[in-house]
Structure 1
Amino acid sequence: MRYAIARKKMVERQIRGRGITDQKVLKAMLEVPRHLFVEPALESQAYSDSPLPIGYRQTISQPYMVGYMTAALELQGDEKVLEVGTGSGYQAAILARIARKVYTVERIPELARRARRLFDQLGLNNINLKVCDGSLGWASEAPFDAIVVTAASPDIPEEYLQQLADGGRLVIPVGGQEGQLLKRVTRRGDHFETENLLGCRFVPLIGERGWADDEN
């Protein structure tokens, strides 16, 4: 009950209170127990207005950023979504409450195993998870109606654009490692429309189309 009250306050103050009105996003964030996705020692901070460390130099994103990025995908409920950077699994769990199918990729096996256990515990059977170089996407399952990238890329990998369905949307932080600009790319046939959304700061996207691991 304590966590349910904290979760409701989080949604009302941090998500709805900052202008996110997508009812599907608000409902998902009310339903998913964020405290299960953080380190046990940090459970009391699970609904705070900040990112939190999850080990392996990774973080669970600030709730507002999760809500904002999910809303930016403009999901209607029947989509096939790719998430790059499973991390704690929280973003994928939110997506799974809205989209028909979620594909999520993670490069760190330990984080992937932890996330898979949580997905199973919560009965989220519409999530497919793979350990691989997320900077290359998941070509064998493309095209995707939406792609969300939860790590900062120096630019937009061509693979993501090619794996995006016509009319699909890609949301990705792009820039240097000290700060990025969240961008939304919409595919219109062979053309791609890019919008700048807001400033942000994410952990780096490590991989062939991202940053080399020795740069961190």
Structure 2
Amino acid sequence: MNDTLDEREAFASFLLRLRGKGIVARELIGAFEATPRHAFVPDRWRSAAWSEGMIPIECGEALEGPDLQAEIIGALAIEPGHRVLEVGSGSGFTAAVMSRLAARVVTVERYKTLTELARQRFEALGIVNAFVRQADGSQGLAAEGPFDRIVVWASFDSLPRNFTDQLASGGVMIAPIGPDEDVQTLAKLTKIGSRFEREDVGSVRFQPIVRSVAAAI
């Protein structure tokens, strides 16, 4: 059995899991199918690329499982003209997926190594509407806003009100809110006027957001 067949079977299993969770949006599934996940994981973990668990990547970080990524990206309800901000690039995989759905994706990463690797992957795949920045994403990226959608792959201890001004009217932000070392609530925050309307869409356990840029790596 060759690697390509293994990957197809693993992807088919992923689709079955999504269907079991009621995630059937054709555009979302097409975006995942068009993004070769194996290109975003270390070679030693390639066979586990489409499994539910997290995968270790460079800089001591980890890539969330594709099921959770699909749930969160699906909840964002990205439309073709949207401008998206992602905080926490990781391997660059989720930004690559979202670039198939949106007009423009800007993804922020604190580690230089991860920033460069994500940029190389985007270039290798011919993705021209996803841009990675090394920056402190805890405050967003006001200079490149406003954004129609914002997603943060790290938790806040309270409502991130400082992001309100970076969302367009009617824009949506998804971020975990809760204690650092416990289960957090995944909040969907819709901008109504100058405030957020909150809807809780799940529970996660993410690392707390770090308010700095990595100095060395």
* TM-score where L is the length of structure 1: 0.92
CA contact (8 A) 1:14 1:63 kept: no
- Secondary structure, in 3 states, of the residue corresponding to 2:47? helix
- Secondary structure, in 3 states, of the residue corresponding to 1:98? coil
Equivalent position of 1:173 in the other structure: 176
1:188 to 185, 192, 210: 192
Query: What are the within-5 Å matches in structure 2 for residues 66-215 of structure 1?
Result: 66-178=69-181, 179-207=183-211
- Secondary structure, in 3 states, of the residue corresponding to 1:56? helix
Separation in structure 1 between the aligned mates of residue 156 and residue 195 of structure 2, nearest angstrom: 21
Q: CA deviation at 1:156?
A: 2.9
* TM-score where L is the length of structure 2: 0.91
Q: CA deviation at 1:141?
A: 0.9
CA contact (8 A) 1:151 1:203 kept: yes
Separation in structure 2 between the aligned mates of residue 26 and residue 186 of structure 1, nearest angstrom: 24
Q: Deviations over 1:11-70 (max 9, x none)?
A: x22222211122211111111111111111111111111111113231111111110111
Q: Percent identity?
A: 36
The runs of 5 or more residues in structure 2 that have no matched partner are none
- Secondary structure, in 3 states, of the residue corresponding to 2:57? strand
Aligned residue type for 2:150: I
Equivalent position of 1:46 in the other structure: 49
CA contact (8 A) 1:174 1:181 kept: yes
Structure 1 runs of 4+ with >6 Å offset: none
CA contact (8 A) 1:14 1:49 kept: no
Q: CA deviation at 1:157?
A: 2.4
